[in-house]
Copies of this chain bind each other. A is one copy, B any other.
Amino acid sequence: MIIVMNTRASEAQIDRVQKKLEEWGFGTHYSQGVERTIIGVIGPKKPGIMEFIEAMEGVDKVVPILQPFKLASREFQSKTSQVNVGNLVFGGTKVVIIAGPCAVENEAQMMETAMMVKKAGASMLRGGAFKPRTSPYAFQGLEEEGLKILDNVRKEVGIPFVTEVVNPRDVDLVARYADMFQIGARNMQNFTLLKEVGKTKKPVILKRGLSATIEEWLMAAEYILSEGNFQVVLCERGIRTYETSTRNTLDLSAIPSIHRLSHLPVLADPSHGTGKRHLVAPLSKAAVAAGADGLLIEVHPDPESALSDGPQSLNFDAFEALLTEMMPIATAVGREI
């Protein structure tokens, strides 16, 4: 942490800052420039200190030097984490394809989808039993009934599934059924939920919040990691910008950025990230080319009658064609599908 004093800071103000820092056990050293005094602060970061100092008189700004996330950082662990769900590995050579409908509607739909996506090459099924919806009047999901359907489908088809958890109270319930948790964008800073999921040992996909910075996203991961659950996979799903022609703006630079800052694997969700079916294939390819460790793709046997998010779902043929088209791209970046 570096403290930049005002050009007009008085001696007394500078002394007061120094005294506070010493009270807190920090080392300091001064640099008297032509125009202003700068104070370097030495010692382990403590939460809230920076804001205290910034509020003191004579202080112009406080500049953090260290990243606020620790367990999630590449400096903490230089090797990319491998997160295992059964035999499936996130963060390995294989680009993991997770596919399925936005919401679980009924067993027939899920069974058909599961068989199809598995055949086409997907490794994991997705489907929401609990749906966070903007409107209280929209379909909110089948809840435990949906989890049971997913469980039956898994047994029948032999494919693991990931499903969203939205309520801290449901963490145990979802954990009994699911192979992997998903924490959605709207809950990225639902810290109660993050902690509950952190107390389990089950792998979790943590989606980026709609307006979360990369730093805030890694801090959210840190909540899970700091509770002892290191099985965290991140997922870029588009951020909110002024552009309205797509539902969100898929920030693909987040993928190599995360790889540089953190050891956690990172997926992309081009279905939610764009909200438009015709953009799913080009953005899926782009995500793999940018180094994504996997993809979440919405697939629906009949997208035109889906109960939610129809406009961004692929049908089976389009999904199968996409996987085939992505193979050489995966190869080109040293991966496989």
Give me the interface of A with B, judged by CB distance under 8 Å.
2, 4, 7, 29, 31, 33-36, 38, 40, 42, 47-48, 51-52, 54-57, 63, 65-66, 68, 75, 132-139, 166-169, 186-187, 189-192, 195, 210-211, 213-216, 219, 222-223, 226, 239-246, 249-253, 255-257, 260, 273-274, 277-279, 282-283, 285-291, 303-311, 313, 325-329, 331-333
Question: Known contacts A33-B42, A132-B191, A253-B273; can you find 6 more A-B pairs with CB under 8 A?
Answer: A33-B40, A48-B307, A134-B219, A214-B243, A245-B257, A253-B282
Distance in angstroms from A191 CB to nearest chain B CB is 5
The residues of B that contact A36 with a CB separation of less than 8 Å are 65
Contact A245 B214 (CB under 8 A): yes
7 residue pairs bridging A and B, Cβ less than 8 Å apart: A33-B40, A55-B310, A169-B192, A213-B245, A215-B245, A240-B242, A289-B329
The residues of B that contact A134 with a CB separation of less than 8 Å are 68, 189, 216, 219
Contact B31 A40 (CB under 8 A): yes
Please, how many angstroms separate the alpha-carbon atoms of A132 and B167 in the complex? 16
Q: Whose C-beta in chain B lies nearest to the C-beta of A67?
A: B60
Please, how many angstroms separate the alpha-carbon atoms of A4 and B216 in the complex? 21
The residues of B that contact A325 with a CB separation of less than 8 Å are 332-333
Q: Which of B31, B282, B291 contacts A256 (CB 8 A)?
A: B282
The residues of B that contact A190 with a CB separation of less than 8 Å are 186-187, 190
The residues of B that contact A195 with a CB separation of less than 8 Å are 136
Most B CB atoms within 10 A — which of A240, A243, A279, A310?
A243
Contact A253 B249 (CB under 8 A): yes
Contact A139 B47 (CB under 8 A): yes
The residues of B that contact A241 with a CB separation of less than 8 Å are 239, 241-242, 249, 251
The residues of B that contact A278 with a CB separation of less than 8 Å are 256, 260
The residues of B that contact A226 with a CB separation of less than 8 Å are 136-137
Please, how many angstroms separate the alpha-carbon atoms of A268 and B138 in the complex? 30
Distance in angstroms from A298 CB to nearest chain B CB is 11
Q: Which of B52, B251, B305 contacts A310 (CB 8 A)?
A: B52
Known: A65-B38, A256-B283. A136 touches B223 (CB 8 A): yes
Known: A219-B135, A253-B283, A289-B329. A40 touches B42 (CB 8 A): no
